[in-house]
Chain A
Amino acid sequence: MNFIREGIRRFFYQSLINYKGLFAWVDVKSYIFMKVFAPILKIVFFSILSSYAFKTTDISTWIIGNSFLLCTSNAIYGVGNDLILERRFGTLRFIVASPYNKFLIFLGRSIFHVIDSFITVIIGLTVGYLFFELTIPLENLAVFMGVLSVSLYSAMSIGITISSLGLCLREVHMFLNVSEMSLVVLTGASFPISRLPLFLQKVSYFTPMSRGIEAARLLVDSYDGAHLFGLILGEFLIGSLFMIIGYLLFLYVEKLSRKYATLDLY
C-alpha cells in the first residue's frame, strides 16, 4: 500500500516540478498578464467579432468555442514545447536514460497543465457570463465540467504529439504557432465546421477538441443524452489516440537517437 502511495506522490511531485521547471512564470504579475488579461481580451475580441459577423446577439456558441481554445497556451506552448525545452536545457538525455516509466513521465507532464488551463477556460467563460450573456443551465454544470475535463485531456494529448514531433524538427516556433492556428481553424471554435472545405471537414473530424466543443455547446440548450455521450466518448478516444501516437513517436525518436547518437542535435 505504501508503495502505491509513494508512487502516486512521486508521480504528482514530478508533474509539479516539470510544470514549474519548464512552464515557469517569472512572477505573479507575468502570470496575471498572460493567463488572466490575455484570455479576457481574446474572448472580448472574438465575442464582438462573432456578434458582428454572424449578426446575432446570441453568441454563446462562439464564446464556448473560443474559451475552450484558451487552453492552447498550455497544450501547445506548455506540453507541446516540453521535450523541445528539455533538449535545449540539456536534460533530455537524463529522461531517456532514466529507468522511470516513460509513459508515466508523459502523462504526468500534462496533469498541471490541465489544472492550469481549466482555470484559464473558466476565466474565459466567466467573461462570457458577465459581459455577453452566456448562461449554462445549473443542472448541466456538472456535465459541462466533465466535458471540459475530457476536452482538456484531449488538448494535452495533442500537445504530447506535438512535443514528440518537435524533436524531429528544427523550426520549432513556426511549428508551434502553426499548430495553434490550425486548432483555431479545425475545431470550429470560431465558425461552423460546415464552412470549411470538405477535405478540412474530414480533418476536423479527427482533431482533438472539436467534439468537446460541440458537446459543451449542446449543454447550453436542450440536448440528446446519447448524442452527447457519443461526443464525449469520441473526444476521449481521440485524445487517447493522440496520447499513444505521441508516446510511440517519442519511442521512435528515442530509438533513432540511440542508434545515431543525435538526441541533443537540432
Chain B
Amino acid sequence: MDMKANLRVFISSIFLQMRQSFGRSMFRFCMIVYPILYGFTLYMIYMDSSNEKIINYVMFGTAVASLWGTISFSSAGDIDRERFMGALEIIFNSPTNFFLIMFGKVVGNTILGTLSMLISIFFVSIAFSIPIIIVDLSKFILVFIIGLSSFIGIAMMLSGLLAVSRSTRIFMNILDYPMMILSGVAFPISLLPSSLIPISYSLAPTHFLLLIRMCISGIDNLHSFYIHLGYLIGLTTIYGILSYFLYKIIDIKAREKATLGVI
C-alpha cells in the first residue's frame, strides 16, 4: 500500500475509534465523570494546602490520571473488545498493517484523552477558583506533546501485550495504582522508599509530571529540565521501538498458534 492509502486508513482508524470509544459508557465515565469526581476528591484532600500544591497535585495530577485512564487503559482494552466481538482476526487479516490500525485507534483515544485532561484542568480551576498559571508556556507545550507521545507508546505496548497474553487483562486492571504511586501523580516521589526511586525514574509519566510542574512554576534549574526532557524523549523512543517489535512478535505468534481470536 502506498503512503496515501496508509494515511487514509490511519485517519479512518482514528475517527472510527473516537466514535466507538465515545459510544461506550465506560469510556465516557473515564473521559468526563472520572476527572470531575477524582478532581473533587483530591481537592477535598488538599483543601488546606497551598495553591502551588493544588495546581501540581490536584489540577495536573487529576489531568494525568485521566489521560492515563483514557489512553492507556482504554487503548489496551480495545484489543480485548475487538477479540470479544470477533473483529480482531478481521482487522489482523486486512491488507493494511495491523500496527497502523492499532496506532490509529490509540491516537483516536489520545485525542479524547487530551479533552479529558482539559476537562479536569478547567473543572478544578472553575469549581475551586484556582487560576491556571503556566510560567513557561512554550516549553509546556513541547513537554505536553512529547508526553502525549510517551502515553501513546505505553498504550501501544499494553495493547500488544494484551494481544499475546490474556493475563494482561488482570494486570491492566491493577496497573492504575502502581502508576499513580510511582510516577508521583498525587504526591512527590521523594516520599517513596529510596529503593523505588529508580523504578519511578524508569517511567515516562514521572518525567512528564516533573517537567510539567517545572513549566508551571517556572524553570529554576534549566540543566535539570533538560535532563528530565532527555529521559522523557529516550523513554518515549524505547516505548515506540518496543511496541513495534511487540507487534512483529504478535504477527508471528498469531500465525503460529492461531489463537488470536480465542477468548
Contacts and interface: CB of A to CB of B under 8 A. Distances in A.
Partners in one complex: yes
Contacts of B170: 29-30, 33-34
Interface string A163-182: 00000001111110110011
Given A37-B174, A185-B41, A52 B33 contact: no
A5 interface: no
Nearest to A36: B174
Leading 7 A-B pairs by shortest Cβ distance:
A41-B177, A174-B25, A171-B25, A181-B37, A173-B26, A191-B44, A52-B187
B174 A185 contact: no
A50 interface: yes
Given A41-B174, A177-B33, A53 B187 contact: yes
Contacts of B45: 49-50, 53-54, 190-191
Contacts of B181: 41, 44-45, 48
Given A174-B28, A195-B47, 12 more contacts: A30-B170, A38-B177, A41-B174, A42-B177, A44-B177, A48-B192, A53-B57, A173-B29, A174-B26, A174-B29, A185-B37, A191-B41
A170 B178 CA distance: 32
Given A49-B186, A177-B29, A178-B33, A195 B44 contact: yes
A53 B25 contact: no
Given A42-B177, A52-B191, A181 B44 contact: no
Interface residues of B, number: 31
B22 interface: no
B171 interface: yes
Chain A interface helix/strand/loop/mixed: helix
Nearest to A32: B170
Given A53-B49, A53-B187, A181-B34, A34 B174 contact: yes
Given A29-B167, A49-B45, A185 B40 contact: yes
Given A30-B170, A34-B173, A52-B187, A45 B29 contact: no
B46 interface: yes
B261 interface: no
19 contacts: A29-B167, A29-B170, A33-B170, A41-B181, A44-B181, A45-B181, A49-B186, A53-B57, A53-B187, A171-B25, A172-B25, A173-B26, A177-B26, A178-B33, A181-B33, A181-B37, A185-B37, A190-B41, A191-B41
A69 to B, nearest CB: 11
Contacts of A41: 174, 177-178, 181
